[in-house]
């Protein structure tokens, strides 16, 4: 087997040398859909048989340990990982460092998970990296089979692809979000220069443990020898901090704690977000603009800044203007993301109590809603009643529905029963189809909006990253067939009309034809917001799992590689 590994590695290196003359060889003419199905149909990341790093360590051995070629910011925590990762990446990139970013889950396309210099991989890039690594994945699978162990999970494959891409680019620093937990997560083959641990709370208990102490022990696993351990605000500080502090001491790591060695203060709401003063061990940054709502995002920015100070080769504080430029430009899809106005439509992918609390605080602080209608779809294994209870004071009513992950989503009938217990019968509506649920919520808002400008009225779509991803895809700006028909009548043709028919008569006939074929009922929120009802229905119901024979594996792609995809529980932010 050792000879086979060496031979495979030599062949792999030879192939890479040959590929250098081709930007995107794609020798097998694979489509993005084919590649995504290949990856996402693999075993789920978390089960009771693969709680080790054997597959990842073997893969890195074969690749020649590419992870040693760049610095690492490693991020875990129950919530806020994705936001913190993007903020740290933006700061490092503002300083001219080449950056690699690895996050999960993805909202629309699997490519979102891997980014170079702030840009997600193109389809060609993604296919190329898969083409370079898939034979080695098969080799690892074969070795594991010999040992009676499971083959690489889809998240392990994606992690290996990201590490190889970062080294091949090459990047100066990789900002890597843990999938779930930390200790046994596939990303924990990396040795962090800066290890960020955000708030530790109850989530994914079936894998991480049913107490915050057990969960904290898992997350403390990313603290490595001689790193800087950056600890965010802890809702269970008395229980969690001793565990994190002990891990830091054991690894001779420098401990930087929110509220002690670093602080976020003087927060003020601002257009599009907030400004705050951020103080780190290296200095104080006053009036930093942060392009996200909510107190928690100020603390995420603080952790990102402290971590960036570790990996950016500068003595003393960073340049305040560069920090401000970076943090004012960060866009974080699916995290309290306002995607429409009139009416205001907000997406949030958080799915646990801590996320709901942050969402509620952000909305109370940053908006002045007289009416806010919730559209909620959640996974059945979440703390659904507790989540809804946190949001109940800010929601006028709630429309319960289902997202595209049919294997895991809570049926609308069950969600309705729980919602009625929380909100009361008169504040709950059930619409099992997500596009219909969004339409219903918008209709409710429009009915109360006497001025017709949307001010003070909004829709909040939340409960899961799959829900947020499905809705985001539905509400993207694609002209619906009905709107295209209307535009064809009312917009003048570019080519000259050589017919003898008077222009005004032609216009009258065109208008009559439109009146015959289009009624006011043909127009709805998906026309106004940029998506036809048929397309919306396809997006909402067509995003099924990639492999019906794999119970927990989900790729949400049926007719297009752009369709939203949902991995199994590979992220503490996931669903």
- For residue range 142-181, list pLDDT tens digits in order: 999 999 999 999 999 999 999 999 999 999 999 999 998 8
What pLDDT score was predicted for residue 331? Answer: 86
Please provide the DSSP assignment of 104-137 as one string.
---SS-GGGGEEETTEEPPHHHHHHHHHHHHHHH
What pLDDT score was predicted for residue 574? Answer: 41
Backbone angles phi, psi at 395, to 5 degrees: -100, 125
In this structure, the number of other CB atoms found within 10 A of the CB of residue 20 comes to 8
- For residue range 299-347, list pLDDT tens digits in order: 999 999 999 999 999 999 999 999 999 999 998 888 889 988 878 999 9
- pLDDT over 70 at 17, yes or no: no
Positive or negative, the CA dihedral 160, 326, 253, 240 is negative
**Is 0.75 topped by the overall pTM?**
no
Beta 397-400 vs 283-290: how paired, if at all? Answer: unpaired
For residues 20 and 168, give the distance between their C-alpha atoms in angstroms, rounded to a whole number. Answer: 11
Confidence bin at 88 (pLDDT 50/70/90): very high
What pLDDT score was predicted for residue 547? Answer: 37
What pLDDT score was predicted for residue 46? Answer: 65
Burial (CB count within 10 angstroms: exposed 0-12, middle 13-18, buried 19+), residue 521: exposed
- pLDDT over 70 at 498, yes or no: no
Residue length of the chain = 575
Single out the residue of 338, 336, 444 nearest to residue 391, CA to CA.
336
- pLDDT over 60 at 254, yes or no: yes
- For residue range 415-432, list pLDDT tens digits in order: 999 999 999 999 999 999
For residues 297 and 199, give the distance between their C-alpha atoms in angstroms, rounded to a whole number. Answer: 12
Mean pLDDT of 464-475: 91
Distance of CA 261 to the CA centre of its chain: 29
- pLDDT over 90 at 369, yes or no: yes
For residues 177 and 165, give the distance between their C-alpha atoms in angstroms, rounded to a whole number. Answer: 16
- For residue range 201-253, list pLDDT tens digits in order: 876 556 676 799 999 999 999 999 999 999 999 999 999 999 999 999 999 99
Confidence bin at 548 (pLDDT 50/70/90): very low
Across the chain, mean pLDDT equals: 81
- pLDDT over 70 at 265, yes or no: yes
What pLDDT score was predicted for residue 340? Answer: 87
What pLDDT score was predicted for residue 227? Answer: 98
Q: Extract the tokens encoding 341.
A: 């106005």
Torsion over CA of 46, 52, 53 and 59, rounded to 10 degrees?
A: -80
Positive or negative, the CA dihedral 399, 377, 199, 556 is negative
Mean pLDDT of 365-369: 91
What pLDDT score was predicted for residue 341? Answer: 83
What pLDDT score was predicted for residue 13? Answer: 47
- For residue range 47-87, list pLDDT tens digits in order: 656 789 999 999 999 999 999 999 999 999 988 899 999 99
């Amino acid at each position: 087997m050792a000879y086979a590994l060496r031979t495979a590695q030599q062949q792999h290196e030879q192939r890479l040398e040959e590929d250098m003359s081709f930007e995107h060889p794609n020798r097998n003419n694979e489509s993005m859909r084919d590649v995504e199905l290949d990856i996402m149909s693999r075993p789920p990341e978390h089960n009771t048989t693969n709680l080790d790093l054997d597959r990842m360590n073997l893969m890195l051995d074969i690749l020649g340990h590419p992870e040693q070629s760049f610095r690492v910011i490693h991020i875990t925590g129950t919530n806020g990982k994705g936001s913190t990762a993007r903020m740290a990446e933006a700061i490092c990139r503002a300083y001219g460092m080449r950056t690699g970013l690895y996050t999960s889950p993805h909202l629309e396309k699997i490519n979102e998970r891997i980014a170079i210099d702030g840009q997600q991989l193109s389809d060609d890039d993604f296919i190329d990296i898969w083409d370079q690594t898939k034979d080695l994945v098969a080799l690892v699978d074969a070795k594991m089979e010999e040992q009676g162990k499971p083959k690489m999970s889809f998240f392990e494959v994606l992690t290996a692809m990201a590490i190889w891409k970062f080294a091949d680019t090459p990047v100066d620093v990789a900002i890597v979000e843990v999938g779930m937990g930390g200790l046994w997560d596939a990303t924990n083959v990396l040795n962090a220069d800066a290890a960020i641990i955000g708030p530790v709370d109850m989530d994914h208990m079936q894998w991480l443990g049913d107490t915050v102490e057990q969960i904290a022990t898992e997350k403390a696993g990313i603290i490595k020898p001689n790193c800087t351990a950056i600890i965010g605000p802890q809702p269970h500080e008395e229980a969690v901090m001793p565990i994190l502090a002990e891990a830091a001491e054991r690894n001779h790591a420098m401990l930087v704690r929110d509220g002690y060695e670093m602080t976020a203060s003087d927060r003020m709401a601002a257009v599009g977000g907030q400004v705050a003063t951020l103080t780190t061990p290296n200095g104080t940054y006053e009036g930093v603009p942060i392009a996200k709502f909510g107190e928690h995002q100020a603390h995420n920015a603080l952790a990102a800044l402290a971590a960036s100070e570790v990996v950016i080769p500068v003595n003393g504080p960073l340049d305040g203007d560069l920090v401000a430029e970076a943090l004012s430009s960060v866009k974080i899809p699916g995290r309290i993301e306002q995607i429409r106005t009139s009416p205001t439509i907000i997406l949030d992918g958080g799915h646990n109590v801590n996320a709901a609390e942050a969402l509620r605080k952000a909305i109370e602080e940053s908006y002045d809603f007289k009416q806010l209608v919730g559209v909620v779809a959640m996974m059945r294994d979440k703390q659904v009643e507790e989540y809804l209870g946190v949001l109940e004071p800010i929601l006028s009513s709630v429309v319960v529905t289902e997202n595209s992950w049919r294997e895991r989503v809570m049926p609308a009938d069950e969600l309705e029963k729980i919602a009625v217990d929380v909100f009361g019968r008169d504040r709950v509506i059930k619409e099992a189809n997500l596009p219909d649920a969004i339409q219903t919520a918008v209709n409710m808002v429009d009915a109360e909006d006497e001025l017709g400008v949307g001010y003070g009225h909004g829709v909040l779509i939340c409960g899961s990253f799959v829900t947020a991803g499905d809705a985001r895809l539905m509400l993207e700006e694609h002209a619906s067939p009905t709107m295209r028909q209307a535009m064809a009548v009312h917009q003048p043709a570019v080519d000259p009309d050589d017919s003898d028919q008077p222009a005004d008569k032609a216009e009258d006939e065109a208008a009559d034809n439109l009146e015959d074929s289009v009624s006011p009922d043909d127009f709805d929120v998906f026309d106004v917001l940029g998506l036809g009802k048929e397309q919306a229905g396809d997006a909402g119901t067509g995003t099924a799992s990639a492999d019906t024979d794999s119970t927990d594996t989900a790729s949400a792609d049926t007719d297009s590689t752009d369709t939203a995809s949902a991995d199994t529980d590979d992220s503490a932010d996931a669903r």
